[in-house]
Amino acid sequence: MARMSPIAIELVRTPPEAATAMGVGVFADRLDDGDAPDGVDPAFLAAQGFKGKPGQTCVVPGEDGGLIVALGLGPEADVAVATYRKAAAALARAASRCPHLAVDLFDTVPERLARRDVAQALAEGILLGAYRYTALKSDPERSHLESLAVVGTGGAKVRAALERGQAVAEAVCLARDLVNQPGGSLTPTAFATRAEEVGALRHFGVEVLDRNAIEAEKLGGLLGVNRGSEEEPRFVRLSWAPERARGTVALVGKGITFDSGGLSLKTTEGMVGMKGDMAGAAAVLATFSALDAVRPPVRVLGYLPLTDNMPGGDATRVGDVLRIRNGTTVEVLNTDAEGRLVLADGLSLASEDEPDAIVDLATLTGACMVALGTRVAGVMGNHEGFVDAVRAAADTAGEAVWPLPLPADMRRQIDSDVADIKNVAGARWGGALIAGLFLQEFVADGIPWAHLDIAGPAEASEDDPEARKGGTGFGVRTLLELLAGFRKPAKAGAAS
Ligand code: BES
Ligand code: MN
Ligand code: ZN
């Protein structure tokens, strides 16, 4: 299929002449023993301070005028698929001025790793490492990368894995672009239009509900959050199905295109980065963009509530009560806890479609960042087996998630005096769990559900080999991995 990025990735037996920079893998412990790949002088590497650490690179001038790039892989015993993703990303950055790259490191892949997985990781790493958000720069510093030749044998399976890696990485980059686009230009209507364009290109269904349709569908959470805004809300439904589906998975993404806090206004510092409060919705749309290439054996449905959260003259007041799609009434005691209000409508609609499982992704709470830092997402849910499946998928995909509990005895902290439930607890302790307990109210009984709080990892505060400062596209790889290996979770088995 036609790819969005112009970068060609090929499997070749010998490095092509055009390769201007060739990445070779170097194990840290072999280097200590004075051993290095052909054409690379270990003394030169040592003089450059290269120790073979994962993600470390060292450019070595080759004999024929080309470049060799030594790629650190760490100690041989520790090498994992993720090591190769990181090494490829580091290569893309070290050789960003070279249009044609090659990597020759299949020889370093230990028996215990599947070459297919390494091939996928190499393709992902190259594209993720080359990513830049340049749309708004007058004089952008572009990546010159045009092609990557992967040296090795392996045939159709390895080739397919390279293609899959490319599709996955392009999806991640789409999510990054959406997160990086300012809130004043990526409005809810613009996001919905983008979804329609991507759907047409990548062959999945897109249905856009405008304000009237949202009112007709009684999405009171979305309407309540939108009330202070001049921008209309949208609700986007996505759908994709293979010929024979093993089940149905629903994906719900928080789509706050800018979060000012509403009347519970944030500080300026608190608003920086809040153009990225639609990272959950971006991850879901981006995941759909790769389904036609990855072809998981399940039907996939997507639900994206889109609005900004603004403090306009008729904004939802503190103390107002909203009625969510499923009939639950919610007292809004803090308009900055808006994500859970729009997700409540999304989870209600998803539940009505009776999927075999639901996953939601949301930049939901600062509290989750206090608990787990900026690089690890929190995962919560109502079904231990399904939460474990999400954790396993994240592990394989190389994204960090860690479980948090949903203690039943904390639920009474969101009992309301006037409505069925309130949107914040009185105390601030355990804010990520309170948000999770709130969301759980809108998941129909018996549907396995996992909630990913991606407030930390959705945006990076500094460059690293695989991601630039800004949107990371977190969640896309995990979702694609989860869908590809999906099995219906066993009935019952409630968690915590
Ligand atoms: N979008 C924010 C959460 C967030 C904070 C994401 C920082 C990324 C970085 C969310 O809507 C929010 O404002 N949450 C409040 C909840 C509180 C009012 C209960 C928070 O975390 O402070
Ligand atoms: Mn908020
Ligand atoms: Zn928010």
Task: Quick: pLDDT tens for 285-323.
Answer: 999 999 999 999 999 999 999 999 999 999 999 999 999
pLDDT score for 496: 47
Cα-based distances in Å from 474 to 2, 135, 210: 24, 20, 28
Mean pLDDT of 389-395: 98
Task: Quick: pLDDT tens for 378-391.
Answer: 999 999 999 999 99
pLDDT tier at 332 (50, 70, 90 boundaries)? very high
Our CA angle for 359, 361, 366, nearest 5°, is: 140
pLDDT tier at 336 (50, 70, 90 boundaries)? very high
Task: Quick: pLDDT tens for 199-247.
Answer: 999 999 999 999 999 999 999 999 999 999 999 999 999 999 999 999 9
Mean pLDDT of 167-175: 98
Q: Which atom of ligand 1 is nearest to the CA of 366?
A: 21
The residues lining ligand 1, judged by C-beta closer than 6 Å to any ligand atom, are 259, 277, 334, 336-339, 363-367, 424, 431, 455
Mean pLDDT of 71-91: 97
Predicted model pTM: 0.97
pLDDT score for 1: 37
Answer whether residue 492 shows pLDDT above 70.
no
On average, the pLDDT of the chain sits at 95
CA of 454 to the centre of ligand 1 (A): 11
Among 256-265, 351-360, 484-493, the range scoring the smallest mean pLDDT is 484-493
How many angstroms separate the CA atoms of 454 and 477, rounded? 13
* Residues forming a β-bridge with 103: 23, 150
CA of 285 to the centre of ligand 3 (A): 18
Mean pLDDT of 419-442: 98
- Catalytic positions, please? 266, 340
pLDDT tier at 5 (50, 70, 90 boundaries)? low
Mean pLDDT of 243-264: 98
pLDDT tier at 408 (50, 70, 90 boundaries)? very high
Cα-based distances in Å from 112 to 11, 84, 115, 416: 22, 14, 9, 55
Q: Where are the beta strands (DSSP E) in 316-429?
A: 321-323, 329-331, 357-362, 377-381, 401-403, 421-422
Mean pLDDT of 18-39: 89
Answer whether residue 432 shows pLDDT above 80.
yes
Mean pLDDT of 22-32: 94
pLDDT score for 62: 75
Closest CA to 178 of 282, 257, 97: 282
Answer whether residue 248 shows pLDDT above 80.
yes
CB-proximal residues (5 Å) to ion ligand 3: 256, 259, 277, 339
Ligand nearest to the CA of 378: 1
CA of 256 to the centre of ligand 1 (A): 11
Q: Which atom of ligand 1 is nearest to the CA of 339?
A: 11
Tell me the percentage of the chain whose pLDDT exceeds 70. Answer: 98
